[in-house]
Amino acid sequence: MTALLDSLGEAFRLLWALDPAVLEIVVLTLQVTLGALTLALVLGIPLGAALGLARNLRGRGLIVPVIYTGMGLPPVIVGLFTYLMLSNQGPLGWLGWLFTPTGMVAAQTIIAFPIVVGLTMAAVQSVDPALRTQLRSLGATRRQVAMTILLDARTGVTAAVVTAYGSIISEVGAVMLVGGNIRGETRVLTTAIVLETRRGNFALALALGFILLTLALLTNLTFYRLQVRQGGP
């Protein structure tokens, strides 16, 4: 118990001193996570909305199960797949993304993308069908109908964003495989916590853990306030 308390005290000291090594890891974590989240949202929200609106879309019976499978795909499998694709022998090896932040963004985007698509689709499907009928009767275009329904489903879409963010900021398997946990290059909070714990450097591991929890809490509080402003729960 004493050792744990000593480690906690050292962790708070590191946080208070704004250790440069810790700040470097935090900044890279945010860059990779927010980059992947942005890509997943840009690609996933339109597809999720389209699948939710076009229930008779050709191939939907195949696409939706694939999306649902992707939502539960283990991150380490995503990391292995991305590693093989980006390796020198892989089809995308010429990009030179392996063991770089860009490769980590690619891996995390693959993780977040099906989550955004699946939850956005569910949110759009939950909107009262009468709204679409009413909009069409008023002469709204397909684009206007889609945007209005997506706006009505904004609480569910916000939940998709929060869930996707939580899934990638806390995962370790994919970024460890694709990034290599290289100091000053690809080391993020989760991989640093694993490394420092293995080294027995519990103070630094705890400090990084507290930062990770704080980032998750602040982000969720932000999204919750947005939900409240939008009339959500």
Please determine, looking at this structure, whether the domain spanning 2-228 carries the CATH number 3.40.640.10.
no
pLDDT digits (tens, 9 = 90+) for 35-85: 999 999 999 999 999 998 887 778 788 889 999 999 998 999 999 999 999
Cα-Cα-Cα-Cα dihedral sign, residues 152, 154, 155, 159: positive
- Is the separation of the CB atoms in 103 and 28 below 8 Å? no
pLDDT digits (tens, 9 = 90+) for 91-103: 999 999 999 999 9
pTM of the shown model: 0.89
**Three state DSSP letters for 14-45:** HHHHCCHHHHHHHHHHHHHHHHHHHHHHHHHH
- Is the separation of the CB atoms in 168 and 37 below 8 Å? yes
Q: Over pLDDT 90: what percentage of the chain?
A: 51
Among candidate residues 177, 188, 167, the one with its CA nearest the CA of residue 81:
177
What ranges do the domains of the chain cover?
2-228
pLDDT digits (tens, 9 = 90+) for 138-172: 877 788 888 888 888 888 898 899 999 999 999 99
Q: What is the pLDDT of residue 233?
A: 56
pLDDT digits (tens, 9 = 90+) for 219-230: 888 877 877 766
